[in-house]
Amino acid sequence: MNNQQVIELTQRYLMSTYSQLPVAFVRGEGCRLWDADGNEYLDFIGGISVVSTGHCHPRVAAAICEQAGQLMHTSNLYHIPPQAQLAKRLVELSFADRCFFCNSGAEANEAAIKLARKWAGINRSGECFGIITAKQSFHGRTLATLAATGQEKYQKAFRPLPPGFTYVIFNDVGALEEAISGQTCAVMLETIQGEGGINVPDDDYLPRVRELCDKRGILLILDEVQTALGRTGRWFGYEHADITPDIITLAKALGSGFPIGACLAKEEVASAFQPGDHASTFGGNHLACAAALATIDVIEDESLVANAAQMGSLLVKLLTDELSGIEGFDHVRGRGLLLAVQFTPKVSAKAVQDQCLAAGLVVNATGDDRVRLAPPLMVSEADCQEAVAILADAVRKVAGH
C-alpha cells in the first residue's frame, strides 16, 4: 500500500475521530520515519512524547520480541515477574512506594481519581469527593478524565459528565486556595500543561500548591503522563519544583510506544486500595512491562535524561536565534524536550506544520498559533540543527517572506 491507498482505507472504514495529516508511516529508526511512498522524515513529535528511546530501539524491540516468544499475558489473577520488577524500578526512581499498572494515560488518571476518593473515604469525614483541576488542562478522554479536563470544547457534546470536578486558572495559587472546600479531596495538575499549550508554571507555583494541600489535608495528584521519564530534562516533572506529590500518573513514554500506563503513590495513600477496588485485564501484563523495563534501561544506560536537558537548551537557543528575525515568530517556551514555538496570530501553526511535513520534518500544531516539539530523547545536535533549519524555512514561507 502507498500513502494514498492507506488514506482511502482509513476514510472508508474508520470512525472520523482524528483529523490526520496525509501521510502513513511504515518504518522508523531513532528520530527518522519513512512513509509508505518511501519519503524520509525527521520526527520531532515522537508519537506525541511517546517514543522516548527513539523508533524501534534495538534493545526495546529485542525485549518485546523475547517476551512475546516466552509469555505475553496471564492476567492479574497471578503474579507477573516483569510487573514486579518494573514497579521496583519506578519506586526506586521516584518519590512513590507502590504502583498500579494500566494501559493508557486516561486509565492512569482514572486510577488516581479513584484512589484519591477511596483515600478520602477512609481518612476524611463527610462527603469528600471533589477534585480541583486547572483550566486548559488535559487528563484524557474517558468520561471521568474528560470531566477532569478543564476544556469546555472537549466536554460539551458528552454531558452529563461524572460530578465532582472544579476548575481553576493554572499558575494561580490564590484561585486554588479559594476553590478548596470541605468536600475537596485532591488537586490534580500537570507539571507543565502539555495539550493546553506547553504552559510552564512559575517556579513557586507547585511548591505553594504543595503547602496548600498539606495545610488543607488534601492530596496532590500530578498528571505526569506527558512530562515524566526524562521529557523535561529530569526523570519527573515534579523534581523541577523540588516537591513530593502524593500520586503521579505515567503513560506516554513508559513503553517507548508499547501501550502502558501507571499510577504511583506514597504508601499512606496507596494502602487505601484493597483487593477488588480497582483492576485492569491487560494492565501491567508481561509484554507491556518487558517493553517498559527495556525503555527505562535504555533511558538510564544512554543518559537520555541528561541528553533531553542538553538538547532542550540547544533547541531553545537555535530556535530563538534562527526565528527571531522572522515576522510572525513570538517566542519559544517549555522545558527539556517539551517545547512550543509560539507565533503571532498572523502565522497559522497548521500551515507551518503542513509546510514542515512537506519538507520532511514532523511537528505538531497544538492550537491555532503554536507548534509543539517533542522529539525522541535521543535526538542529536545535528538533528536539532536540521529541524530548526526546516522549521525556520517553513515559518518564512508561511509568513510570506
Active-site annotation, residues = 138, 223, 252
Least spacing, CB of residue 15 vs ligand PLP, in Å? 16
Least spacing, CB of residue 368 vs ligand PLP, in Å? 19
| Residue corresponding to grid cell 487505601 | 272
Does residue number 231 form part of the binding site for ligand PLP (CB under 6 A)? no
Least spacing, CB of residue 190 vs ligand PLP, in Å? 5
Q: Of 376, 394, 385, 360, whose CA–CA distance to 40 is shortest?
A: 360
Q: Torsion-angle region of residue 136: left (phi > 0), alpha (psi -120 to 50) or beta?
A: left
* Part in contact with ligand PLP (CB under 6 A); list of ranges 5-13, 99-107, 274-282, 305-313: 99-107
Does residue number 106 form part of the binding site for ligand PLP (CB under 6 A)? yes
Closer Cβ to ligand PLP, 94 or 109, answer by number: 109
Closer Cβ to ligand PLP, 225 or 365, answer by number: 225
* Cβ-contact 135, 168 below 8 angstroms: yes
Question: Would you list the DSSP string of 164-179?
Answer: -EEEE-TT-HHHHHHH
Question: Would you list the DSSP string of 52-98?
Answer: TT-BT-HHHHHHHHHHHHH-----TTS--HHHHHHHHHHHHHSS-SE
69: cell is 516468544
Residue 200's CB is within 10 A of a number of other CB atoms, namely 18
Residue 181's CB is within 10 A of a number of other CB atoms, namely 11
Least spacing, CB of residue 48 vs ligand PLP, in Å? 7
Closer Cβ to ligand PLP, 265 or 398, answer by number: 265
Does residue number 213 form part of the binding site for ligand PLP (CB under 6 A)? no
Closer Cβ to ligand PLP, 133 or 184, answer by number: 133
Does residue number 104 form part of the binding site for ligand PLP (CB under 6 A)? yes
Q: Is 155 exposed, middle or buried (0-12, 13-18, 19+ CB in 10 A)?
A: middle
Residue 353, C-beta contacts closer than 8 angstroms, at least 6 positions apart: 21, 363, 364, 365, 371
Helix 304-323 × helix 286-301 angle, to 10° = 70
Least spacing, CB of residue 399 vs ligand PLP, in Å? 29
Count of residues engaged in binding ligand PLP, rule: CB under 6 A: 15
Q: Binding to ligand PLP (CB under 6 A): which residues in 135-154?
A: 138-140
Q: Cα–Cα distance between 170 and 89 in angstroms, integer?
A: 31
Size of the chain, expressed as the number of residues it contains: 401
* Part in contact with ligand PLP (CB under 6 A); list of ranges 68-76, 104-112, 163-171, 356-364: 104-112
Cβ-proximal residue to ligand PLP, closest one: 105
Does residue number 194 form part of the binding site for ligand PLP (CB under 6 A)? yes
Q: Cα–Cα distance between 222 and 159 in angstroms, integer?
A: 25
Least spacing, CB of residue 138 vs ligand PLP, in Å? 5
Please pick, from the candidates 51, 225, 262, 264, the single residue that binds ligand PLP as defined by CB under 6 A. 225
* Part in contact with ligand PLP (CB under 6 A); list of ranges 171-179, 188-196, 277-285, 286-294: 188-196
Closer Cβ to ligand PLP, 64 or 251, answer by number: 251
* Part in contact with ligand PLP (CB under 6 A); list of ranges 134-142, 171-179, 327-335, 344-352: 134-142
Name the residues that contact ligand PLP, by CB under 6 A.
104-106, 109, 138-140, 190, 194-195, 223, 225-226, 251-252
